[in-house]
Structure 1
């Protein structure tokens, strides 16, 4: 293989991340059946002795000497066949299946377990036969899961659980329930996984500590980690570790350390500290582990983290140890995925240092491929082939890369595995363009677009399952999802045969990107009744235009939708690098917040105006457009569009402005002033336990001024403004607007997005519960959520996601909030002007916002954009 081209050093970051079920292995008990002992099963039946050879085979299995165990078991099988001992034959066949499985001889394992079940089904009912039947079905479930047949495995383990329940074997019921949870997690059904394990935890909590309890707590912690509940994950994993230590079980201690390492690595705060802690956990897992599986997984995870932290000498020293260790893994899907993950880490290490060479990485994947073929594990084989194709992509051997990628794609599609198919479709698109940004090969251009389009369509089908709870156990959105959307838009808009069809498709992808970003921020799928944005401006507001933007590596692209016009307008691309665009926007943002700096604000505002508005200025005037709806991308979301400047006027002076996150909005309903009902909640003094927030002197005055505007206002204030009391008050009537005059904060993620109440923080996660409709008194959704005294993380472009996420959680049609901390006194004037105008004939929410901004702008004390510009309306604007 040739050396890596420097161009591709930028592409490894888009490499493939293994799913949680592949990297964070659930450590469950697997042991040979060898259990014709029916004592302690709840039946009065005698113990049945096993042959000495069976005990020998058990010892061989435990030692990992599977071929020798098979030889012994085949001899025992002949004995039972000669004696016509059906139960004995079924037990031996089940154990043969276990050993064949470990050897990777899946057809033989499948034949053995099916024969065992067929034999036992034809024996008279008895506690003995039911015990062996349960164990055989249990073994079958493990075999099915290793083959990637998670649904079948779940069904088998459910059947085994019912048998164990009849036998009153509570320990086996517990173990097989944990296995069911593993199958559910493999299927991506994380909430069902958590529910299953939570119920089991409740059942076990009053029982003495046991390894079964430790395994359940660890499995539950792993599932909570996938679901993004890191606090509860830590609680359960620490509890599992404590029990394992008390019971002096090195393997379970090692498994707990492995999971705790994954958890530490997933923490977003104090990244350096958490990474060091994760390395420590992995090393402890290596020391404690007495099986090759956990030891290798701990080493692989440590290598991956060392490479990420750019501790390259340590990584170089570690990888030869892993290479020797990984060869000792029993053949199975965990071993295959471990090798793929090892190869991925080595690829990244190769890009940051001089070794290992590509041949070494290829050899690892070749072994994994052989094992996947032996197992007849189609999903695992697809993973291996796709990553092998990626290796050849990195070395620019395009023909081989394309062949391997197509094979991986065909395999994934044969089992309808869209979650991996989209990645091979994406990879195929890159390969067809041979990695060139401009895709100079015009003959391959349509094929590349088709490949990317197929990847996008596959991703749309599973988008709800790809909500990134953390970068380790699920796809990292920014690295493994977002670039696909951007590259497809890039190709569509640079296509030599650019057409309305391309523009429409590009806009659809932009919409999907925005919705996916919101889902990623909220870590949950958004289910809601939506109305197409086009339909809104074509039928309900024909004086509105929608402006879509996307920042690409080498340019800014803008698409515009005008009312009653099926054709989209494509503005000339702004030929600036992403860095140049972001530098200008960051400077603009800083100047906007600098009170008294008018000249620089207007200069920066004019630059952005030329990018977004000037190319369509004539069309806006001809269409008599009054409202501009923006779908913004990246750093543009940090900038309040109202502050753009045309050389004479700010945009706010000419147009009402709103933000949406895609092509759909909740069915917008104009508000009628006489019907508006407001619930206003206020808090002057932040709770003592929450630091960093000042006293809000003017919130009482703000609420008083709102009352004076003539709208119907109910209040809840100060000590009465608790989460519970707020929820009760909210459900006393159908409020159109909820006005929160209290500190709030929009951080980089949902954990750091909240508003303050008298009893602490009302987090984003709690909004859906607090705002849910109860009883018969509140029968309609909230129209506006007004967040009066909120601030955002300094310059964070996720702020709009926080506002939108809060709106969605509250079930509101739109929200009004600010992009930076506001003057307490100016907010009184703003709120007064907003409510004075809202709902008047011809005054939409967006227009009411504009009039309130103008009220501040016309006041000499507040005419700088830092006072009036940060207010943004997100969602329905009518």
Structure 2
């Protein structure tokens, strides 16, 4: 039931822009520019009115010139009040044109004037206007700071909301609260967003505010998507919360639909056709999104579409009209998988093809008439995509190139520029013009890299679209680079260049995935700017994998600066995924006597055997894996070489990392003598899920204390957030060892540690605690998690595990793919720490030594014979710095 529910429109941000600007217009009554207060300067007065008429017609460019001329006249006469009015009008105009820098510049001038006049009411309202600019451009933290400040209980003095409340400015207060709700929605704080918006909706004279109703619908619909993700995470973890999350999602969707239906009625009653159109389109999109859960009458969709089309015919030309035409033209048939349309060819559009093309052409004509480069670019690009899907490549190419040209004219339109550069690459690749296609793919990649942080960390809703509109750019470019590198007409120099370029692309994809998962830009500051060959040692090889639709690329990087590519082509994605699933299940079964290495052999033959001769030639001792997708599920140490009858860890030390550029490659100091041990050894219950006691923790701690005598323990009730904060602020702990259940889910909210008093500690919160300790977090060399649990086959969960060291702000992490509640863990951890502390081994070598000790259990009297089963030792993986 999750397939369509998770999909959201790429153009959903347009609805956000519309609803937030409407909040201000309704509350302040300023949807149009302001007229001057007197006519003492007749020529300037005429110029101002001329600009107002152009603005009302939607011709924003034409409004600017007369206003600038009038502004010059008022400045010569020191007419400061009218200067402020013209600056305010120019701010609104440049906001309509998407020019953020000029918009902010003019608003700041207006704010300064009203400050000088001690008109605090006006200052507060302008702060709300400015906050909306930041919110709409993705800088939600800045917006929230201007609206209220960091404290959600009491707003800071000088913030928009505080000023409005102090001045008893009800309209200003409503606008600030509504804008605050929108900013929190974009941040993903849906509960807080709904709280603020409901406060506005329930206030006097606001129950029929169609802008607030639209905003509430957006917030409830976004939260419904999050509930669905949590339901899927609960399903993967066999949690009893799945049904509850599904029902909460359904309830939120119903509330969103009701809000939009009410908004349509209110807008129609007030004869606000733009608002009515926006509500119809939002309702149409929400209806598509919820088809699987049967809460919307499919026949009603057709009614809303026809009403929206009728409204478009009645509306004067405007940017809102352009985007409405694009969105309606993009609607798929009701049975199509509903994703971001730019990377999908629907089997059939909802509207007839003739009408679809007519809508696109109308949008192009209107956008060009309004001289709006951004909307012109979108209209041209989407029509080009329609022709691309029809394989009419000549028309598709011409329209796409025009879209690129218009997007390139506007510095604020980079988010559309990469889409059309990517589209041009696809069109050329479809015609087998691979070298020309590569050029456009590389342009799209470069553009995307410039704006990746903004689009992945500033709008939580966009994270739902990552796999539709961001990830494919990297994958398709990497595939093209690899295929060109291995084509027959490439010389060795060009081949190595393409392979190196592919490695760079793959590394960027890994960073984008981590960034998208955590929604956090702070963790991605590059720690290592050197090339791959500058960071790997003479006995270390790096194996990077990347999954494509019909094959998998395995790229080997050796210390002699040579790269080798191997294609796994004899199995499709699902075959290999199924083998990995079976492999994991066979390990978890703990069938010591009947354990079969067949699946481990098959995966070894697919990934390792084709490149092993190069490993032997270079005398490689350590393998570092940078894995993709479901391959992160593989405990690589347990792969089995049937020819030599040895596990991979018997031949090589094994480690994994998310990205070499994000890995701090400094060896652990030999002077380490202290670890902070955090443990929950007793049974606990979180969200109705019981986490069993860790009965063997005392043995584990005794071993740690012996190796690191200055260690400190916080166990059970003592393992609380305030105690953790206090401890790391008072002392430096190079190693933090956590013996508690840790769950890694699809989203960060379901990625947490179980701590004392049946509470959660999210990885995000752990990072905050470590970083708040000043520079102490830089001293955390190793984070050990001995009872982690990741859902088998859950790509995003294993992605969260792979990024745990980055997110927690530590150099390395030793973590388990599944919890092993046995004294085998104490044996393995003791051997790992001993070799790390006393034998001068790297972390990867120390883990290898610990795993070998268990593999050889039958030869060591003090260790249980059954511990040679890979269930007990292969669960533990080293993430990040392997030195």
**TM class by smaller structure:** 0.7 to 0.9
Q: Give the CA deviation at 1:203.
A: 3.5
Match of 1:447 in 2: 436
Match of 1:697 in 2: 695
Alignment of 1:825-836 (within 5 A): 825-836=823-834
Q: Give the CA deviation at 1:214.
A: 1.9
Matched, 1:100 2:31: no
Match of 2:428 in 1: 432
Deviations 1:161-209 (A, max 9, x none): 2222333333332332222122223433232222222232343455657
Deviations 1:206-250 (A, max 9, x none): 56572322221221221222222223222222222222x554553
Q: Give the CA deviation at 1:254.
A: 2.9
The equivalent position to 2:445 in structure 1, one of 434, 456, 460, is: 456
Residues 665 and 882 of structure 2 are in contact (CA less than 8 Å); yes or no, is this contact kept in structure 1?
Answer: yes
Match of 2:357 in 1: 362
Distance 2:325 2:273 in 1: 13
Matched, 1:682 2:679: yes
Matched, 1:110 2:110: no
Q: Give the CA deviation at 1:370.
A: 2.2
Alignment of 1:304-703 (within 5 A): 304-310=285-291, 312-329=298-315, 331-346=317-332, 351=346, 355-416=350-411, 417-434=413-430, 441-442=431-432, 444-467=433-456, 472-473=461-462, 476-495=465-484, 496=487, 497-498=489-490, 499-525=495-521, 526-531=523-528, 541-563=537-559, 565-596=560-591, 601-647=596-642, 648-685=645-682, 691-692=688-689, 693-703=691-701
Distance 1:509 1:23 in 2: 36
Match of 1:138 in 2: 88
Q: Higher mean Cα deviation, 420-429 or 311-320?
A: 311-320
Q: Secondary structure of 1:541's partner?
A: coil
Q: Give the CA deviation at 1:468.
A: 5.6
Q: Give the gaps of 5 or more residues in structure 1.
A: 1-9, 36-60, 435-440
Residues 789 and 822 of structure 1 are in contact (CA less than 8 Å); yes or no, is this contact kept in structure 2?
Answer: yes
Q: Secondary structure of 2:742's partner?
A: strand
Q: Higher mean Cα deviation, 599-608 or 479-488?
A: 599-608
Q: Secondary structure of 1:821's partner?
A: coil
Q: Higher mean Cα deviation, 103-112 or 812-821?
A: 103-112
Q: Secondary structure of 2:641's partner?
A: coil
Q: Give the CA deviation at 1:698.
A: 2.9
Matched, 1:120 2:120: no
Deviations 1:307-333 (A, max 9, x none): 234475443332111111233445433
Deviations 1:692-738 (A, max 9, x none): 22233332332122112355422223322221221221132332110
Distance 1:515 1:33 in 2: 43
Match of 2:717 in 1: 719
Distance 2:706 2:878 in 1: 23
Q: Secondary structure of 2:771's partner?
A: coil
Distance 1:94 1:252, change over 3 A: farther
Q: Secondary structure of 1:86's partner?
A: coil
Matched, 1:254 2:249: no
Distance 1:34 1:824 in 2: 68
Distance 1:651 1:202, change over 3 A: farther
Match of 2:343 in 1: none
Q: Give the CA deviation at 1:18.
A: 5.0
Q: Secondary structure of 2:730's partner?
A: coil
Residues 768 and 810 of structure 1 are in contact (CA less than 8 Å); yes or no, is this contact kept in structure 2?
Answer: yes
Deviations 1:808-838 (A, max 9, x none): 2322111011112322543222222222221
Distance 1:326 1:261, change over 3 A: farther
Q: Secondary structure of 1:624's partner?
A: coil
Matched, 1:293 2:274: yes
The equivalent position to 2:199 in structure 1, one of 220, 236, 239, is: 239
Match of 1:57 in 2: none
Q: Secondary structure of 2:399's partner?
A: helix
Distance 1:528 1:254 in 2: 40
Q: Higher mean Cα deviation, 114-123 or 404-413?
A: 114-123
Residues 150 and 186 of structure 1 are in contact (CA less than 8 Å); yes or no, is this contact kept in structure 2?
Answer: no
Q: Higher mean Cα deviation, 264-273 or 844-853?
A: 264-273
Q: Give the CA deviation at 1:876.
A: 0.5
Distance 1:519 1:678 in 2: 29
Q: Secondary structure of 1:467's partner?
A: helix
Distance 1:471 1:734, change over 3 A: closer
Deviations 1:360-393 (A, max 9, x none): 1222222222222222111221122111211222
Distance 1:278 1:553, change over 3 A: same
Match of 2:860 in 1: none
TM, length-normalised to structure 1? 0.86
Q: Give the CA deviation at 1:137.
A: 1.6
Q: Higher mean Cα deviation, 373-382 or 505-514?
A: 373-382
Distance 2:683 2:88 in 1: 56
Residues 475 and 481 of structure 1 are in contact (CA less than 8 Å); yes or no, is this contact kept in structure 2?
Answer: no
Distance 1:236 1:768, change over 3 A: same
Match of 1:40 in 2: none
Residues 753 and 762 of structure 2 are in contact (CA less than 8 Å); yes or no, is this contact kept in structure 1?
Answer: yes
Distance 2:351 2:205 in 1: 42
The equivalent position to 1:758 in structure 2, one of 756, 759, 768, is: 756
Match of 1:729 in 2: 727
Distance 2:282 2:845 in 1: 54
Matched, 1:201 2:164: no
Q: Give the CA deviation at 1:600.
A: 6.4
Alignment of 1:799-838 (within 5 A): 799-838=797-836
Distance 1:203 1:504, change over 3 A: same
Q: Secondary structure of 1:772's partner?
A: helix
Match of 2:124 in 1: 174
When Rg is computed on C-alpha atoms for both structures, the one with the higher figure is 1
Q: Give the gaps of 5 or more residues in structure 2.
A: 149-158, 231-245, 337-345, 858-863
Residues 745 and 791 of structure 2 are in contact (CA less than 8 Å); yes or no, is this contact kept in structure 1?
Answer: yes
Distance 1:708 1:487 in 2: 52
Matched, 1:282 2:280: no
Q: Give the CA deviation at 1:608.
A: 0.8
The equivalent position to 1:190 in structure 2, one of 101, 119, 140, is: 140
Residues 814 and 875 of structure 1 are in contact (CA less than 8 Å); yes or no, is this contact kept in structure 2?
Answer: yes
Number of equivalenced pairs: 812
TM, length-normalised to structure 2? 0.85
Q: Secondary structure of 1:460's partner?
A: helix
Q: Give the CA deviation at 1:599.
A: 5.8
Q: Higher mean Cα deviation, 661-670 or 811-820?
A: 661-670
Distance 2:252 2:670 in 1: 53
Q: Secondary structure of 2:733's partner?
A: coil
Q: Give the CA deviation at 1:749.
A: 1.3
Residues 695 and 821 of structure 2 are in contact (CA less than 8 Å); yes or no, is this contact kept in structure 1?
Answer: no
